[in-house]
Amino acid sequence: MTISTATDADLAALFQFFQEEFKGFINRKYPDNHRVHEAIRYALNGPGKKIRPLLCLSSAIAVGGRPEQALIPAIAVEMLHTYSLVHDDLPAMDNDDMRRGRPTVHVAFDEAIAILVGDALQTDAISLLADTATAEWIPKAEAIPAKGALAIIAELGRAAGGHGMVLGQAIDMEWTGKTAGQLAELDRLHQLKTGVLLGASCAVGALSCKDSTPEDINRLRSFGEAIGLAFQIRDDIIDSFAQTGKTANKDANSGKFTYLSLMGADAAMVRARQLTENSLDNLPNTSSYALLRKIAINLMDRTG
């Protein structure tokens, strides 16, 4: 049986499409000279991999839609993710001074501004989904049907909020500096802090397309969560050696509870690959899912 996957060029084209629309959006939405807007532009313009928007747009394609239909949720997801990074780097959390190859927002600006950038990105992401003026900022985006917008807001709120990413971040902080716990606890922590937002990124891509079914949405959410866990395992592994644009070996030096600290790089990588393979087995073997397959495969080999 031939399983269809996309090429690196296909993925690069989707990245390019998103990148151009996102840059235009940032400049139209935050044109002011106020320091907080400068800091928002600084945070959003950092050279991130755009994994979550790519998952969102590819999920729309998977269910028979077009990227333009999922562009607004893709931007909202990247804003939520960027907020999470700005706050993750704060002195009270991971206390990191490098992100995406540049000083973190609280270093380049100051701590109060970094907190406010996170607050603004979070609320602006949600209002973007409900705001009828969105077309002014993102001309290529297609409006989301009202029912879809509500479901998308609910999905993202669940994933990012107090029972999702925030809970994961809180558990991550609790474990920092303690003797390692059990695998099940680490899985839960990683699933919450990272997996759920990748799952929601896929789900909201499908929710943007009116012909998607509840089965499509559930399948895509589960896929995103599984590759999200694998993605965080890979993040733990490469923290120790790769050029990630972040401080090298930060997790070990901070006493973080990670896959690397629990089982070592080789066993952690076996687990990440297993999760990825299982998640690919659960996708329909049709060409519309080819981009999602390619993203999952590429994430396992990434070194940055």
Q: Is 5 in the site for ligand IPE (CB under 6 A)?
A: no
Burial 277-293 (b: 16+ CB within 10 A, else e): eebbeebeeeebbbbbb
Site string for Mg ion, 231-270 (x = CB under 5 A): ----x---x-------------------------------
Q: Is 21 in the site for Mg ion (CB under 5 A)?
A: no
Q: Is 202 in the site for ligand IPE (CB under 6 A)?
A: no
> Quick one: which of 225, 231, 221 has its CA closest to 63?
221
Residue 201 or 212 having the CB closest to ligand IPE: 201
Residue 152 or 165 having the CB closest to ligand IPE: 165
Q: Is 155 in the site for Mg ion (CB under 5 A)?
A: no
Q: Which of residues 104-163 bind ligand IPE (CB under 6 A)?
A: none
Q: Is 88 in the site for Mg ion (CB under 5 A)?
A: yes
Alpha carbon distance 30, 121 (integer Å)? 11
Site string for ligand IPE, 76-95 (x = CB under 6 A): --------xx--x-----x-
Contacts of 298 (CB under 8 A, 6+ apart): 8, 11
Q: Quote the least distance from Cβ 172 to Mg ion, whole Å.
A: 5
Q: Any long-range contacts for 90-99 (C-beta under 8 Å, 24+ apart)?
A: 90/114, 90/115, 93/169, 93/173, 94/250, 94/254, 95/254, 96/246, 96/247, 96/250, 97/247, 98/245, 98/246, 98/247, 99/46, 99/245, 99/246
Alpha carbon distance 196, 165 (integer Å)? 7
Quote the strand ranges of the chain, DSSP E.
98-99, 102-103
Q: Quote the least distance from Cβ 248 to Mg ion, whole Å.
A: 11
Site string for ligand IPE, 218-257 (x = CB under 6 A): --------------x--x---x------x-----------
Alpha carbon distance 247, 242 (integer Å)? 10
Q: Quote the least distance from Cβ 258 to ligand IPE, whole Å.
A: 8
Q: Please report, as ranges, the residues that interact with ligand IPE according to CB under 6 A.
A: 48-49, 51, 84-85, 88, 94, 96, 100, 165, 169, 193-194, 232, 235, 239, 246
Binding site for Mg ion (CB under 5 A): 88, 94, 235, 239
